Amino acid sequence: MSKRVSTHFSLNERIVFEEGSPGRRAFDLPALDVPHRDIKELIEPELLRAEIPGMPELSEVDVIRHFTRLSTWNYHIDLGLYPLGSCTMKYNPKINERMARLEGFIQAHPYAPAGRIQGSLDIQKTLESCLAEISGMDAVTLQPAAGAHGELTGILMIRAYHESRGNPRKKILIPDSAHGTNPASAAISGYAVESVPSNAQGTVDLAALRKAVNEDVAAIMITNPNTLGIFEAEIGEIALLLHSHGALVYMDGANLNAMMGITRPGDFGIDVLHINLHKTFTTPHGGGGPGAGPVVVKKILEPFLPYPVIGGKTDGTLFFDYDRPQSIGKIKAYNGQFGMHVRALCYILANGPEGLKEVSEVAVLNANYIRAKLKAAFALPYDSPTLHEVVFSDRRQAHHDVHVWDMAKRLMDYGFHPPTVSFPLIVSGAIMIEPTETESKQELDAFIDAMLAIAKEAEEQPEFVKAAPHTTRIGRIDEAGAARRPVLRWKPEE
């Protein structure tokens, strides 16, 4: 049977502020080896605080048990499949973690003299050249801290490019299937946003786009393959159209996992692209971060990269080059999420050119296998060929008043994390599935069986599905209640 959930012990745990007792500690320092000084002599007493109310005191065992128990309440990729469309949750190789924790890397300071940071700079430089080659672009900044931060960086560079030619222009075009961060990034760059509709095949409506493009348009922000998993086959024409009006093409690189070694954004007319290292290049999601969002650009945008860029001297030594007069400035202090850069490079070097291509091939095969097996049970709103992910809708189950959110919760009872739901917005009741290449046929079959079982339950016992999950350590949380009177911190009971 496909349900792999069974009962087992699950320890309750209080909030850390309800634990411990005064006098316990899990930490000690060597005795002070310089003369003791009375703090009040060194610092005005008005600048000092008395005590921090509410901070608990714990022993090392208390700390270990508290967080270990919390950890057991999480689903995670090492436990099983995360079929999250657009989020690309694949296995995180263990060697990445070990390499990122090497003492020389974690203790390196970006303001150290160049002679003391050649190893770290070499990692960043090598990663830059790999990302440029994989994407078909010319220059790279590793500075952005996350995908959406990369979007902001890219749009600011587009703005600086147009400004250097005398006019920043007024608006950014964004397909209606885009990630929600796209319009937000454009807006905080000072641009107006104009939505471009999708056609019946689920791709950008070229006729509508022709009408929207004019000399006020700074760029289009396009995701390719788009959020339906469909390759924008007319991307070449779209790029030509934008370029003929002096506008640029920004690509959201969230879906790069579908195309490594298969096709390159730089070869189909993209001018600037951000890459989510935590998606394609296996740096872990960490429960919501840290991410990393390097931006790769064509030559024309290179002068506008955030400073510093990594320069090389004739003797081969590397250095941070701050002398960048046309730069958009700094987008983050220092130069990016270096720990993520080590992990991403480790993954790229573990795969090599053949391996990365194989990654994309298998990711697309796995997604199409799921598509083929589930399309009898779930509605497929767009029938175009899809790559690494597939979007179904809950249309058929909705007849029984079972909606995508209910099925997502029910899937937990079968031992799976739910797929991405309610996105993209152009599909009502969207169920967006992306298995990635790191799932075996057996894991996919178990997931498919669970989905088919839930489709059957939706017809036969809809109320049961709507009350799911039934086996998790807590049931559905009253989110509306939590938002109405938000409790955002612990306070002692009075």
Partner 1 sequence: MRYIPNSAADRQQMLAEAGLASVDSLFSGIPGKLRLRRLLDIPKALTEPELIEYFQARAAKDANASPLFIGAGIYSHYIPIVIDALISRSEFYTAYTPYQAELAQGTLQAIFEFQTYIAQLTGMEVANASLYDGSTGLAEAVLMAHRLAKKDRFLLARTVHPEYRAVVETYAKNLGIGIELIEYTPDGRMDPEKLEAQLQKGGTAAVVVQSPNFFGTLEKTHDICELAHRYEALSIVNVCEAVSLGLLKAPGEDASEKRTADIVVGEAQSFGVPPSFGGPHLGFMATRERFVRQMPGRLVGMGKDYAGRRGFVLTLSTREQHIRREKATSNICTNQSLCALMATIYLAAVGPKGLREVCEQNIAKTAYAGDQIQKETRRRVLFPAPRFNEFVIEYDREQPPAGLSLSRFYPELGHAVLLCVTETARREQIDAMVKGFA
| Ranges within 312-371 binding partner 1 (CB under 8 A) | 322, 328-340, 342, 346, 348-359, 361-362, 364-366, 368-369, 371
DSSP 208-245: HHHHH-STTEEEEEEESS-TTS---TTHHHHHHHHHHT
Applying CB under 8 A, among 315, 376, 486, 493 the residue interacting with partner 1 is 486
Decide: is 302 part of the binding site for partner 1 (CB under 8 A): no
The order of strands in the sheet holding 171-175 is: 139-141, 295-297, 272-274, 248-252, 217-223, 171-175, 192-196
Which residue in the block uniquely carries the two structure tokens 């560079």? 157
Buried b (16+ CB within 10 A) or exposed e, 332-357: eeebbbbbbbbbbbbbbeebeeeebe
**Looking only at residues 77 through 136 of this chain, which bind partner 1 when binding is defined by CB under 8 A?**
77-79, 82, 84, 87, 89-93, 95, 97-99, 101-113, 116-120, 122-123, 126, 129-130, 133-134
Which listed range, 242-250, 407-415, 426-434, 455-463, lies at the site for partner 1 (CB under 8 A)? 407-415
Q: Is 246 helix (H, G, I), strand (E, B) or coil?
A: coil
**Looking only at residues 186 through 205 of this chain, which bind partner 1 when binding is defined by CB under 8 A?**
186-190, 193
Q: Which is nearer to partner 1, 68 or 428 (CB)?
A: 68
**Looking only at residues 454 through 483 of this chain, which bind partner 1 when binding is defined by CB under 8 A?**
469, 472-479, 481-483
Applying CB under 8 A, among 4, 164, 167, 180 the residue interacting with partner 1 is 180
> Closest distance between partner 1 and the C-beta of residue 140, in Å?
13
> Closest distance between partner 1 and the C-beta of residue 148, in Å?
4
> Closest distance between partner 1 and the C-beta of residue 97, in Å?
7
Beta strands, E only, 87-232: 139-141, 171-175, 192-196, 217-223
> Closest distance between partner 1 and the C-beta of residue 285, in Å?
5
What does the angle CA 371 – CA 376 – CA 380 come to, to the nearest 5 degrees? 60
- Count the neighbouring beta carbons within 10 Å of the beta carbon of residue 264: 17
Choose among 221, 242, 224: nearest CA to 233: 224
**Looking only at residues 248 through 287 of this chain, which bind partner 1 when binding is defined by CB under 8 A?**
259-264, 267-268, 282, 284-287
Q: Residue count at the site for partner 1 (CB under 8 A)?
A: 203
**Looking only at residues 36 through 65 of this chain, which bind partner 1 when binding is defined by CB under 8 A?**
36-37, 39, 42-44, 46-49, 51-58, 60, 62-64
Q: Which is nearer to partner 1, 1 or 34 (CB)?
A: 34
- Count the neighbouring beta carbons within 10 Å of the beta carbon of residue 94: 9
Beta-bridge mates of residue 172: 193, 219
> Closest distance between partner 1 and the C-beta of residue 70, in Å?
4
H or E element at residue 296: strand 295-297
